[in-house]
Amino acid sequence: MIKATEEGPTRAAEDFKPRASVIVCAYSNERLSQLKETIASLQEQTYPPSEIVLIIDHNPGLQEELEKTAGDSLRIAPNSGDRGLANARNTGIALAQGEIVAFIDDDAAAESRWLEELVACYQDPDVIGAGGRIEPVWEGGRQPGWLPEEFLWVIGCSYRGMTEGSIRNMIGCNMSFRASVFAEVGAFSPDIGRLGSQPLGCEETEICIRALERWPGKRIIYTPEALVHHHASRSRQTVSYFARRCYFEGVSKVVVRRLWGAAATSTEVGYLSRTLPSAILRDARNVVMLKDASGGAARIGITALGVGAVGAGFALEFLRGRIRRQ
């Protein structure tokens, strides 16, 4: 087994073996082949999950199809709440019996040591959540040249400049919590986050902030050794999707900010003031040196578009809130 310390994982006692439930939420028949890869990867873990809980979000046909072939290794149930990822996750939380509850998307596949690396982090009693690295698997074989590494969060992946070590929040495709977190602070807010393909977000941010507010001395940590591979479909490799996702990120940040104030944007301050300027300078240098000049110019433009779209979503939702309160 592995032990998480300030410096990183080290070898530890064999008697640390908490039960770990893994929750997968699915809603679309179009992802069925990827979902099967997700489940297969979970069944090949070096630290076997105590259960795999598969929640189907208001798609009886998909549930029926999976129940025909699932066998005894899966616990399949419908979303018991209104349609949406938050309620689907909450249904899984209510069913899960493990001391650790981990989440992975239905279009992602985990490396064999994924769960082992996450569980190891909880040997530190101050750790209440742990998430890992998410690498994109590009449909078509390669990353679009116009997309900066700093914006891979748009497709739900780890991105250049993201905080490591102790973090404010995890990315939903690869995250875990102590089950006691949900018992104490509640589950995901259904008023925030993704509904089907609508690219809202921040339900993970909100619950992480809620947990850290409840336990200021505790930590959520990022362990890159807990690796998953996340499918990046062609539909998410377009400028229109990029702009739309950025816009709704701005909207979501206002919703979380109403609940938790400046904590909702504490990480983003550093991202905007350091990470993105560094990206622009890097690409500007490439343009001047005629090193991938066209790609560099495109990425500068996309960075400006992304910042503008987030800002527009933030501003418009902020104004809508002011109007509603009048």
The pLDDT assigned to 197 comes to 53
Coil, helix or strand for 34?
A: helix
When pLDDT is cut at 50, 70 and 90, the band that residue 195 belongs to is low
The predicted structure's pLDDT at residue 69: 81
Helix (H, G, I), strand (E, B) or coil at 190: coil
Lookup: tokens for 49: 């999950």
pLDDT digits (tens, 9 = 90+) for 105-157: 999 999 999 999 999 999 999 999 999 999 999 999 999 999 999 999 999 99
- Evaluate if pTM is beyond 0.95: no
Give residue 198's pLDDT.
60
Q: Retrieve residue 2's tokens.
A: 């592995």
The predicted structure's pLDDT at residue 196: 52
Confidence of residue 15 (pLDDT cuts 50, 70, 90): confident
CATH class of residue range 2-237:
alpha beta
Q: Are 148 and 299 a contacting pair, CB within 8 Å?
A: yes
Band of pLDDT at residue 235, cut at 50, 70 and 90: very high
- Give the span between the Cα atoms of 230 and 208, in whole angstroms: 22
What value does the mean pLDDT take over residues 314-322? 93
pLDDT for position 325: 85
CA 125 to chain centre: 23
User: Are 95 and 185 a contacting pair, CB within 8 Å?
Assistant: no
Confidence band for 240, pLDDT divided at 50, 70 and 90: very high
Share of the chain above pLDDT 70, in %: 94
- With bands split at pLDDT 50, 70 and 90, how would you rate the model's confidence at 2? very low
> Has residue 167 got a pLDDT over 90?
yes
Q: 123: which residues sit within 8 A by CB, 6+ positions away?
A: 3, 4, 12, 16
Helix, strand, or coil (residue 158): coil
Q: How far apart are CA 305 and CA 246, in angstroms?
A: 9
135 close to 229: Cβ distance less than 8 angstroms: yes
Q: Taking the CA atoms of the chain, what radius of gyration do you get in angstroms?
A: 20
CA distance 5 to 141: 37
pLDDT tens-digit readout, 197-207 = 566 778 999 99
The pLDDT value given to residue 7: 41
The pLDDT value given to residue 154: 96
Domain ranges of the chain: 2-237
d(CA 204, CA 86): 9
Taking residues 218-228, what's their average pLDDT?
Answer: 98
Mean pLDDT computed over 19-26: 98
Provide the pLDDT confidence category of residue 174 given band limits of 50, 70 and 90: very high
Confidence of residue 6 (pLDDT cuts 50, 70, 90): very low
Average pLDDT score, the chain: 92
DSSP-derived secondary structure letter, 274:
I
DSSP 79-140: --SSSSHHHHHHHHHHH---SEEEEE-TTEEE-TTHHHHHHHHTTSTTEEEEEEEEEEEETT
User: Where residue 11 falls among pLDDT bands split at 50, 70, 90?
Assistant: very low
pLDDT digits (tens, 9 = 90+) for 34-70: 999 999 999 999 999 999 999 999 999 999 999 988 8
**Residue 193 — left, alpha, or beta (φ > 0 → left; ψ -120 to 50 → alpha)?**
left
Structure tokens at 161: 């400049």
